[in-house]
């Protein structure tokens, strides 16, 4: 997902690979919390999905890895991701 100010989020990439639907929801939540200005309560929105805490953990780890390895990652992107990671940690 790509977030730019108040503009609607944009989908920038589709990678055909099977993952549980709850993992896709977790990635969207991690992105919205980290960079989309979503309220922290969003983290519990899909808690009825299978393995929700585990999916959030995996989504946060995925985004942390991408941030660490991507050559165009910026320092400005990290604080939001760190905050989201703290929220996920509290669920575990």
Please tell me the predicted confidence (pLDDT) of residue 9: 87
Which residue would you say has higher pLDDT here, 12 or 67?
A: 67
Judge whether 16 lies within some domain.
Answer: no
Indicate the number of domains in the chain: 1
Q: Is the pLDDT of residue 75 over 80?
A: yes
Task: Give the list of residues 6+ apart from residue 34 with CB closer than 8 angstroms, or none.
Answer: 63, 77, 80, 81, 83, 84
Judge whether 13 lies within some domain.
Answer: no
Confidence of residue 56 (pLDDT cuts 50, 70, 90): very high
The model's pTM: 0.79
Judge whether 56 lies within some domain.
Answer: yes
Judge whether 11 lies within some domain.
Answer: no
Judge whether 5 lies within some domain.
Answer: no
């Amino acid at each position: 997902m790509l977030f730019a100010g108040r503009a609607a989020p944009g989908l920038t990439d589709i990678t055909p690979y099977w993952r549980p639907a709850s993992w896709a929801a977790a990635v969207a939540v991690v992105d919205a919390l980290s960079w989309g200005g979503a309220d922290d309560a969003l983290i519990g929105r899909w808690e009825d999905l299978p393995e929700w805490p585990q999916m959030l953990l995996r989504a946060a780890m995925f985004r942390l890895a991408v941030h660490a390895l991507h050559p165009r990652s910026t320092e400005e992107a990290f604080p939001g991701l760190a905050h989201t990671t703290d929220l996920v940690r509290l669920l575990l």
